[in-house]
Amino acid sequence: MFDNVANTDYMINVRARVARLKQIHYLIAIALFIGTLFFCSMYASDLKLTTISLSHFGIYKKIGFFWNASLFIIGVTLFIEAFLNINKYMPKSWLLYLFIASVICLLFTASINMNHKVHYYFAYCYFIGYTFSIFLFGYSIMKTDFRIGITSIIISILSVICPILAIMYLHTFAIPELTHTFFIFLWVSITKFDTQYRNFLKRFGL
């Protein structure tokens, strides 16, 4: 009897540690991306975010490798988070394959620089594919988890509208790309810390 209790406590501790490691991994990935963006912006001071696309960092002298490597790491992170979310909210869903295809496009975007035209096609497929995946994810879980479902739909819509408005008024691609990335990170953060998010909404009667 005592052995069973000990084993149960041990498994609970292991699962808690694994969950903690997953959260730390995600936060480190975001910090790495932000740090790389800051480093590239400082190093390539002649490249202004208001006049370029982020892909310009990928072909700029010695920092190209660091920028593309950070995109690759973000792609792997987004794949892991999509896999975890699908298994958590809707196990064995076909939607996982759409997430995977979108992430693969991001990995190709990181692997093939903007000197090749196919780079842009992969980038567009990632932006459209991952956003559409989030929308379908939210729509699919509306009945079982309304808060996360409606939040996912709202974020997917904003991740399209806001970058388009940014392009129209700023006439640049870097800011819209960062805006889209912000909403992607926001969605992943909310689904990863879903319990805290629900508790936050409950404080406002939502």
Taking only the tens place, the pLDDT of each residue in 36-88 is: 888 888 887 787 888 888 888 888 877 888 888 888 888 888 888 888 888 88
The pLDDT tens digits for 110-127 are 888 888 889 999 999 999
Of residues 139 and 24, more confidence is placed in 139
Sequence-distant (≥ 6) Cβ neighbours of residue 197 within 8 angstroms: 147, 148, 151, 190
pLDDT, average across residues 183-194? 88
Please determine, for residue 99, whether its predicted confidence score (pLDDT) is greater than 60.
yes
Residue 205: inside a domain: no
Q: Find out whether 152 and 138 touch, Cβ atoms under 8 Å.
A: yes
Report the b/e string of 114-147 with b at 16+ CB within 10 A: beeeebeebbebbbebbbbbbbbbbebbeeebeb
User: 0.75 exceeded by the pTM?
Assistant: yes
Residue 131: inside a domain: yes
- Confidence at 139, pLDDT banded by 50, 70, 90: very high
Encoded tokens for 91: 């196990």
Residue 48: inside a domain: yes
Residue 197: inside a domain: no
Of residues 40 and 159, more confidence is placed in 159
Q: Find out whether 153 and 98 touch, Cβ atoms under 8 Å.
A: no
Residue 70: inside a domain: yes
Mean pLDDT taken over the chain: 83
pLDDT, average across residues 186-202? 84
Picking from 37, 27, 22, the residue whose alpha carbon sits closest to that of residue 185 is 27
Of residues 98 and 170, more confidence is placed in 98
The pLDDT tens digits for 163-181 are 999 888 888 888 999 999 9
- Domains of the chain: total: 1
- Confidence at 20, pLDDT banded by 50, 70, 90: low
Report how far residue 140's alpha carbon sits from residue 19's, in angstroms, rounded to the nearest whole number.
24
Residue 198: inside a domain: no
Report how far residue 65's alpha carbon sits from residue 70's, in angstroms, rounded to the nearest whole number.
9
Residue 206: inside a domain: no
Range of the domain at 70: 2-192
Residue 127: inside a domain: yes
Burial of 26 (0-12, 13-18, 19+ CB in 10 A): buried
- DSSP assignment of 157-183, as one string? HHHHHHHHHHHHHH--SHHHHHHHHHH
